A and B are shown apart, each in its own frame.
Chain A
């Protein structure tokens, strides 16, 4: 129960900035969609009505407009980058803000009559929920952006993707391809690895908070050790230049290693919070 209360509290502490991120994303992507469609239509009108090129010829030469065209638009990608960087920085700030200033909130948090690991878990969950929330927003925005195309561009000039089709085409894309993978397994892998990194990062931050300067070294070492454990199958393959595992086996081994690294991070955080933390 206290975990839920803490989670709620952590979310409320970031909600203003989070809303700003959401609004930036909505505005920026809608502007992007509008201008892509508008530009296409302007060019089309010029070509067809001024230069007298036939519609079929134009489509043949320049292609139809679709959601794919958004990916090359700065206005479309910029909010994704901003949101990703903000949340990444917040992974640090979500801890350090509690030690900031004279009114150090960490006193309050550590003196709550609840297991201290709940502080850690609630902060991690807050990050996860905010990431997933933005991803969900992106999916909804893509649907809306498809609608905008339908309003602005005649059917014969555009290619409509369903969301799944669309995602199948963005697999290799730097931003969207990673954010919204095509199938559920892929989704679990991306976010599983992402959240594991968050746990490792949080535990490294706690090392710094417990041991100050020395803690930075401990933290970096911890992060390196964790990564080595997680990537050990790949490291072995590189060293011995030989494949030991079938893809399916590798997949299972990676899941197990990921769980081990996550569990280790939580357990060490539990120890540090109870025995070593200092206000």
Chain B
């Protein structure tokens, strides 16, 4: 379980996050939703210790993040984090060199699934294919938790469909997944849990099926209540 406890983040005097608390469970897909610029990415960066939080605590399976944690929790940012001149094969080799949790078989499977060619340079790929390589580099790690920042934004519809397929496949099975998005429509049926952010705070946290069953509301209905006031 990923526990975010009372986390606050200030940039100078500007508060980006104010007492944010939520949990994301293993075996579930948790979706951080909010209109742009509400600190979704900051939360993921905070979980991965890529930027210091002003206060609060973040625990992964009850422990603070250490260097060993990066074998257990992977983050897929919204842009690929490999050097543009690298070939896909070189990017894969880089991951293989550093991570014990790298799973070569799965990497091969993903290459086939996304129809990517190893010899191509990242700089020569289409946006959609870059997004797929980016995803591959995270998904091929045998980690318990996967964080993804806006995996569906800025790419063509067919790439989106392919990426959505990943979520219903064994590639994600039994892992704890946290994704951020500002566009819920396509993936409403894919996610287990929703955490709604507004103005740096969490306004709602619920399971989607429970929300439908108990209140007969879709995720968009709840968002409408929250953001339209």
Say if the two chains contact directly (CB < 8 Å): yes
Q: Is the pair A111, B48 in contact by a Cβ cutoff of 8 Å? A: yes
B97 an interface residue at 8 Å Cβ cutoff?
A: yes
Residues of chain A contacted by B69 (CB below 8 angstroms) = 113
A112 an interface residue at 8 Å Cβ cutoff?
A: yes
A71 an interface residue at 8 Å Cβ cutoff?
A: no
Q: Contact size class for A?
A: 20 to 34
B22 an interface residue at 8 Å Cβ cutoff?
A: no
Residues of chain B contacted by A9 (CB below 8 angstroms) = 94
A9, A115, A274, A279 pick with most chain B CB within 10 angstroms:
A279
Which single residue of chain A is at the shortest CB-CB distance from B78? A102
A5 to B79, CA, bound (A): 24
Map CB proximity to B onto A171-208 as digits: 1 under 8 Å, 0 otherwise. Answer: 00000000000000000000000000000000000000
Q: Contact size class for B?
A: 20 to 34
A267 an interface residue at 8 Å Cβ cutoff?
A: no
A13 to B85, CA, bound (A): 10
Map CB proximity to B onto A139-159 as digits: 1 under 8 Å, 0 otherwise. Answer: 000000000000000000000
Residues of chain A contacted by B48 (CB below 8 angstroms) = 110-111
Q: A278-B50, A278-B52 are in contact. Are A113 and B82 (CB under 8 A)?
A: no
Map CB proximity to B onto A97-125 as digits: 1 under 8 Å, 0 otherwise. Answer: 00001111101101111111000000000
Q: Is the pair B81, A114 in contact by a Cβ cutoff of 8 Å? A: no
Residues of chain A contacted by B99 (CB below 8 angstroms) = 112-113
A110 to B83, CA, bound (A): 15
For chain B, residues 70 to 124, give those with C-beta under 8 angstroms from any C-beta of chain A.
70-71, 74-75, 77, 79-84, 94, 97-100, 122
A275 an interface residue at 8 Å Cβ cutoff?
A: yes
A2 an interface residue at 8 Å Cβ cutoff?
A: yes
B51 an interface residue at 8 Å Cβ cutoff?
A: yes
Q: Is the pair A112, B70 in contact by a Cβ cutoff of 8 Å? A: yes
Q: A5-B97, A110-B50, A278-B50 are in contact. Are A104 and B81 (CB under 8 A)?
A: yes
Map CB proximity to B onto A12-28 as digits: 1 under 8 Å, 0 otherwise. Answer: 01000000000000000
Residues of chain B contacted by A107 (CB below 8 angstroms) = 50, 75, 77, 81
B68 an interface residue at 8 Å Cβ cutoff?
A: yes
A165 to B52, CA, bound (A): 56
Known: A105-B83, A108-B81, A110-B48. 12 other contacts (CB 8 A): A101-B84, A103-B82, A103-B83, A103-B84, A105-B81, A105-B82, A108-B82, A111-B75, A114-B67, A114-B98, A276-B52, A279-B51
Residues in A lying within 8 Å of B, measured CB to CB: 2, 5, 9, 13, 101-105, 107-108, 110-116, 274-279
